[in-house]
A and B are shown apart, each in its own frame.
Chain A
């Protein structure tokens, strides 16, 4: 297995506060890797640096050996590393299908002027966007809500819509921001299956940030644990569950929260 994504000595300081300190790990092709940690551990900051929504203070993130940190988000997306957001970040007054069509921006072959004048390539693009959207909607089991306006969707569907928008860009790596937050057990299991399906059927490598322990233990091939901005452990779910430092970090929270 080759390293698809490499996080190398990444550090982030906000004034005197160190949010991430010298974090290094690799993500292999076709794996699901989770970054976990208690609140305030620096997960979100790390997530934003990997997707270039925040610049790093030191260190770098490489994708296929190319630096993707400290760029613009759309450039990183263009290279194939695409993030999702939590549920409120959607195109509110578009339907599910429209959102997925617009999100295929990177697959466009015609220029913007081409679409304006309606060239042959543009027509082909528009047809292919529609086709791809229908395929993706089918794949994600969203057929029933395809023409529903996003602002009318319940929370669980919004999460799935967020993933659909990310997938529409045809990414190599999908970065998921707390995909299970605020979900009950059934919803979480559905989402776990969905994420797994995305990896298995579409060959998308997944890096997710999350604090729902049972779900993370269930879904992840490997886990990276952060605490107070430092990386304290890395390993398979079984290794993490028996790691003393990890147990210590979570001490004070109930044991079942880390799925032991």
Chain B
């Protein structure tokens, strides 16, 4: 019951209280910030899932970039509706993850981390070289998402006709985030989640009880990259442009840090981690050239004293419920 109350409070806060607060205070720039947090946390959730099978993934930027390009190309070149291009972007990223994942997921520990770190750079360079991605000039003037209607009912309004597309993006990103984390919670508490935990703890023992570990690894990496692709595609649509530098190695590192900060043992860790990291960076803006120094020092201190993430601050009894 307490959990359901938490979910209801969270949903009320995201969909009613925050928009209400922003409307009252007139700080509509916060919409962009919070939309970014929602989208980045979707991509971070994917990274978190690869942590769940014991792989350090520093390559989510690659899949976010792939997703952003796929959606941009489909919308601008093929004239497809953004809402159709969104899942396709995720699926394309997942397909790429399957092809790349089969060979590299055999690696463990720092070896996998290093290879995944290279991925972002590879995708950036590919985007610079390919004609369809328009090289360094990128894809610009992407139209805002169009409307979706069925049986005469408008399900999603045309964003271009809206008075405040920022609010619309905020809602869209929040809905995606809520769906993502609901699915993640379900996944982690279903059999796939149990198998992931068994693999995280001991791959040899997992294979001895009949778990096809290479199959599960690829499935999980594909889901992870799907989320990266979705997050990236939505980002491109908000910025109405995609460049090879839209997602860089630093972004990949941040996706991973979000998971560490929130807590690797908690499904909702990446959401909290993204929020704190994103706002933390902005709040330290006043420090000028000391911003990065203060930011990294705080991260180091946090990880030293809270190695299991911010969510480990809660009562120990809640821990099991999240797992």
Contacts and interface: CB of A to CB of B under 8 A. Distances in A.
Contacts of B219: 112
B126 interface: no
A112 B192 CA distance: 6
Contact of A73 (B187, B194, B202, B207): B207
Interface residues of A, number: 35
A116 B219 CA distance: 14
9 contacts: A73-B207, A82-B209, A84-B208, A90-B201, A102-B195, A105-B210, A115-B192, A125-B191, A165-B209
A165 B205 contact: yes
Contacts of B25: none
Contacts of A90: 201-202, 205
Given A90-B205, A112-B219, A125-B191, 20 more contacts: A74-B208, A77-B210, A85-B208, A89-B202, A89-B205, A92-B202, A94-B197, A94-B198, A98-B194, A101-B194, A102-B194, A102-B197, A102-B209, A105-B211, A106-B210, A112-B190, A118-B190, A122-B190, A169-B209, A169-B210
A39 to B, nearest CB: 23
B264 to A, nearest CB: 12
Contacts of B210: 74, 77-78, 82, 105-106, 169
A90 B203 CA distance: 10
Interface of A: 51, 53, 72-74, 77-78, 82-85, 89-94, 98, 101-103, 105-106, 108, 110, 112, 115-116, 118, 122, 125, 165-166, 168-169
Given A93-B201, A102-B198, A116-B186, A82 B192 contact: no
A106 B211 CA distance: 8
B209 A108 contact: no
B282 interface: no
A62 B178 CA distance: 51
Interface string B203-230: 0110111111100000100000000000
A112 B216 CA distance: 10
Contacts of B194: 98, 101-102
Contact of A77 (B191, B197, B208): B208
Contacts of A106: 209-210
A115 B191 contact: yes
B202 A74 contact: no
A90 B183 CA distance: 29
B61 to A, nearest CB: 27
- Of the candidates B194, B195, B209, the one having the most CB atoms from chain A within 10 angstroms of its own CB is B209
A115 B207 contact: no
Contacts of B202: 89-92
A109 B299 CA distance: 45
Nearest to B209: A103
B204 A91 contact: no
Contacts of A103: 209
Contact of A53 (B183, B198, B204): B204
Interface in B23-59: none
B208 A73 contact: yes
